[in-house]
Amino acid sequence: MRKKIIAGNWKMNMTFDEGQKLTSEIVNMFKDENIQDVHIVLNPPFPHLFPVKKLIGDTPGVYLGAQNCSDKESGAFTGEVSAKILASFGAQYVIIGHSERREYFKENNELLSVKVKQALEHGLTPIFCCGESLEIREAGTHEPNVKFQLTDSLFDLSADEIKKVVIAYEPIWAIGTGKTATSDQAQEMHFALRRHLGSKYGKDVAAEISILYGGSMNAGNAADLLSKPDVDGGLIGGASLKSRDFIEIVKSY
């Protein structure tokens, strides 16, 4: 059975005190409101990893993630953080290939393939992001474009490895713009991606892979998006910075 996952991507936000307050509120609400059958993943900036992990403690259903990892194991790479280091701090998930990394830092499919392998090697669950720009969406080539991102970065993994990967579909035109793909548009793409995974690994394997929606999900639209059969959760940006909003999304299941 696929995991239901709501992952909060803090991006480059939150001072130390703000991060501590946000984490404490989320963890306490999660416990107090007896939320079950949903995994939440907090993905703060690197300096927050250890203090956030301490606040999470052994809370069932709450996990620590990072926003990126290096493609290198270790060495003289100033400013980089390896999957091995992340794992040693208690991280369990890592976001790989977010559209902002692709656009601003020119990360390509080949590099992301190596990062996914590094994450898996060190026991981290990659949240692999894929998606299309407004230009590609309007040209009607979004489906083959996004499928190619999966093929080029993930299809050299074994069936056992791909089952350990979480996919996050993020229509780039709906990130931070206030626009959101309709629930039908999200379902259409999630179904297409699952079918594409099935073409390589078989339907049974594809049925085990969680596919999250990552385009401006919020407390107002979450229930509609999460009601779709192939939408297994969300990768949440802005709404993850407000504890009540984030928990309301989690409760939308």
Report CA torsion sign: 184, 186, 188, 191: negative
- Single out the catalytic residue among 39, 132, 170, 190: 170
Give 62's strand partners: 40
- Best CA proximity match to 149, nearest among 163, 136, 131: 131
Torsion of CA 65, 36, 183, 201, to 10 degrees: 60
Query: Does 9 carry a binding-site annotation?
Result: yes
| Candidates 98, 122, 142, 190; catalytic one | 98
Is 21 annotated as belonging to a binding site?
no
To the query of whether residue 170 is one of the catalytic residues in this protein, the response is yes
The CA-atom distances, in angstroms, between 70 and each of 3, 92, 146, 236 are 26, 15, 23, 22
* Nearest alpha-carbon partner for 128 in 117, 116, 118: 116
* Contact present, 241 and 233 (Cβ < 8 Å): no
Residue 14: both structure tokens together: 């939150």
Domain ranges of the chain: 5-250
- 79 vs 16: CA distance, rounded Å: 20
5-250 CATH, one of 3.30.365.10, 3.40.50.300, 3.20.20.70, 3.40.640.10: 3.20.20.70
Residue 173 assigned as binding residue? no
- Within 8 A by CB and 6+ apart from 203, the residues are none
Q: Is 184 helix (H, G, I), strand (E, B) or coil?
A: helix
d(CA 242, CA 232): 22
Q: Each residue's pLDDT tens digit in the chain (253 positions)?
A: 899 999 999 999 999 999 999 999 999 999 999 999 999 999 999 999 999 999 999 999 999 999 999 999 999 999 999 999 999 999 999 999 999 999 999 999 999 999 999 999 999 999 999 999 989 998 999 999 999 999 999 999 999 999 999 999 999 988 777 777 899 999 999 999 999 999 999 999 999 999 999 988 999 999 999 999 999 999 999 999 999 999 999 999 8
Residue 108, annotated as binding a ligand: no
Indicate the pTM of the whole model: 0.97
| Among 24, 19, 168, 30, residue whose Cα is nearest residue 102 | 168
Would the annotation count 237 as a binding residue?
yes
Q: Which residue has the tokens 């069936």?
A: 159
